[in-house]
Chains A and B, each alone.
Chain A
């Protein structure tokens, strides 16, 4: 089955700096890679996603890159703000199953 690894497990940045979270996957059949933000006690919320036929996608301060050959994808958050503080999860899917990374707890220090 699929194995998704996520690093780092915790990340602290100063407000205004950039944050990068990296994930690797093992199953070459995976073709959809979403990222979720989860605040304490709340549901995971989809913030950005990328499909395997695209190398990069950007939405305002958030971007995701995918390297299919190396089987890794990354989340980039620029100009971080305190409200970006949360746990971020990556996932890999072939459509019927979703496999999640173990999460990155991001703290943005004002």
Chain B
């Protein structure tokens, strides 16, 4: 157990809908990173937050947004969902070193 929690574990929704994924970092970690893992694309970096501020953006679609709250938990919002958004979404937390630890992931299925 990495100490990073993610909810929900599974999510099934229809195209065009909006969902919110939640991540709580390890105690003491200020960084939260979001990743998308599809079968054919490996782990894609989406966005990084540090202590409430956005630090870096990767291959994140405009339909996706994220934020980190004062208690350091983070939410990833996915809207206007398409079939191709079906994937595993991981968050990872990190402290003052570069190491990051992954949560168990949320499996999103868009039908």
Interface of A toward B, CB cutoff 8 Å: 32, 34, 36, 42-46, 49, 51, 89, 91, 93, 95-103
Contacts and interface: CB of A to CB of B under 8 A. Distances in A.
B105 interface: yes
Interface in B52-88: 55-56, 58
Nearest to A51: B98
A46 B99 contact: yes
Contact of A43 (B50, B56, B104): B104
Contact of B100 (A46, A99, A102, A103): A46
B15 interface: no
Give the bracket for the number of chain B residues in contact with chain A. Answer: 20 to 34
Contacts of B45: 97-100
Given A43-B102, A103-B42, A103-B43, 10 more contacts: A43-B103, A45-B102, A46-B99, A49-B98, A49-B99, A89-B43, A97-B45, A98-B33, A98-B45, A99-B45
Contacts of B105: 43
Chain B contact residues, majority secondary structure: strand
A44 B98 contact: no
Contact of B43 (A44, A51, A96, A97): A44
Contacts of B44: 100
B2 interface: yes
A89 B102 contact: no
A60 to B, nearest CB: 18
4 smallest beta-carbon distances between A and B, as pairs: A96-B56, A32-B98, A100-B43, A43-B102
A102 B45 CA distance: 12
Contacts of B102: 36, 43-45
Nearest to A91: B43
A46 B98 contact: no
Interface string B6-22: 00000000000000000
Contacts of A89: 42-43
Given A98-B33, A103-B42, A44 B99 contact: no
